[in-house]
Structure 1
Amino acid sequence: MTQTTTPGIDHYLSLFQQRADRFTQVVDTVDVSGGDWDGPSPCEGWSARDVVGHVLQTQRDFLSTQGLDAGPPPDLADPAAAWRAQRAHVTAALEADGVAAREYDGYFGRTTIAATVADFYGWDLVVHGSDVARATGQEWSVSDAEAADLHATADGWGAALHSEGVCADAVEVGPDASVTDRLLARLGRDPGWQPGNG
């Protein structure tokens, strides 16, 4: 009989930081002088700047609902700097005694702050990192292992994945689509989207 081991708090904290590292790399690569922040993104009606603003606000909202300090309002004049400040604030909040392991009743049942930050807000960083990357002309892809991990999390959400405010309906792709394209399509994003045709 196979035993299922629940990941520990350290696993979730490490996973969040890995996903935050990648998001940081994407936002730090945006050409500020070229005005890339205000171009369209794969999220209809949102610029790349809007995407970062959304990421920051959802994290701030979560901290607030958990009775934690959300931190100062972000200055989106420099989205990359705003993100770095937010990441430092979230990291400090998670490192406070007992916070990461604190349990609460989440949308899918009993969980911890660390698990939510990694599996929802960290997952969000990967997906919206792709939005910012594609909006600003950067290459973006996932490995087979990353895709499997992201799909597994999405599987756990069931129909809620495509509820309002989460992901648009899945997009059809051909049988030869890459791992990255299949992931983007499942999350309601057109893998062929480019700034000029969005």
Structure 2
Amino acid sequence: MAHIGDRYRRRAQAFEEKVARVGAGDWGNQSPCVKWTARDVVDHVIAMHGYMLGPVGRSFGNDDDPLTTFRAARKAVEEVLDNPELAAQEVDTPAGRMTAEAQIDQVVSDDLVLHGWDLARATGQDETIDPADVERLWRSTTAIPAEMMTLYRTPGAFGPDVEVFGPEIPVPADAPLQDRLLGFIGRDPSVRR
């Protein structure tokens, strides 16, 4: 569906701009993800693009430069979304079978938003998430059934060293929705680097 591709492109552009603005000395900065630096955040997003592409027989080249590699990953995902046959191909996921485009939308596209915040926080960039993305992610994450959320919060449930969400961080009920979303997925929006 065109809106999935449009949403991915908008989010990928915003993430790419953040990657492009990372200063040479900032790649080692600690991110809100306890085990990851700014570089690790970008490497994770790139790796997730690879996971989305594998089931549909696509891949991309890897370069030492994170911006170059992200651009290659982005281009490969956009080619899948632009190809109706590939986009509609059914793939197996931890959440069950779905189309490749649905998995891209629910996993890597959402990762671009959430990890875009992580990267911005780690490197001193603007941390504002598009309000439409905040509302959409709030609705989708708070709708996850409790038993599935327990799995998402269990380190290693989806593979070694894989953590989908951290433990919920309490934030005031009247906090901005972006802060409540971040707290819900295990980020502390009050902690600055």
Report TM bin, short chain.
0.7 to 0.9
Matching residue's letter, 1:56: I
1:180/1:104 CA distance change after superposition, 3 Å: same
Query: Any conservation in 1 of the 2:18–2:116 contact (CA below 8 Å)?
Result: yes
The aligned runs of 1:164-175 (5 Å cut-off) are 164=155, 165-175=163-173
Quote the Cα distance in structure 2 between the aligned partners of 1:142 and 1:188: 16
Say if 2:33 is the partner of 1:43.
Answer: yes
Partner residue in 2 for 1:6: none
Quote the Cα distance in structure 1 between the aligned partners of 2:6 and 2:153: 27
Quote the Cα distance in structure 2 between the aligned partners of 1:141 and 1:130: 7
Q: What is the aligned residue count? A: 182
Give the match's secondary structure for 1:99.
Answer: helix
Quote the Cα distance in structure 2 between the aligned partners of 1:23 and 1:144: 16
Query: Any conservation in 1 of the 2:11–2:109 contact (CA below 8 Å)?
Result: yes
Say if 2:22 is the partner of 1:30.
Answer: yes
Unpaired runs of 5+ residues, structure 1, are 1-8
Matching residue's letter, 1:19: R
1:167/1:30 CA distance change after superposition, 3 Å: same
Query: Any conservation in 1 of the 2:56–2:100 contact (CA below 8 Å)?
Result: no
Identity of aligned residues (%): 35
Say if 2:58 is the partner of 1:69.
Answer: yes
Partner residue in 2 for 1:5: none
Displacement of 1:193: 2.2
How well do the aligned residues superpose, as a CA RMSD in angstroms?
1.8
Partner residue in 1 for 2:78: 91
Displacement of 1:19: 1.3
Displacement of 1:99: 0.5
The aligned runs of 1:42-191 (5 Å cut-off) are 42-64=32-54, 66-72=55-61, 74-75=62-63, 77-96=64-83, 98-158=85-145, 159=149, 160-164=151-155, 165-191=163-189
Matching residue's letter, 2:18: V
Query: Any conservation in 2 of the 1:143–1:179 contact (CA below 8 Å)?
Result: no
User: Which protein is bigger by CA-based radius of gyration?
Assistant: 1
Unpaired runs of 5+ residues, structure 2, are 156-162
Displacement of 1:13: 1.3
Quote the Cα distance in structure 1 between the aligned partners of 2:84 and 2:134: 33
**Stretch of structure 1 that moved more, 151-160 or 85-94:** 151-160
Matching residue's letter, 2:170: E
Q: Deviations over 1:14-55 (max 9, x none)?
A: 1111211211121122122xx111111111121100111011
Matching residue's letter, 1:11: H
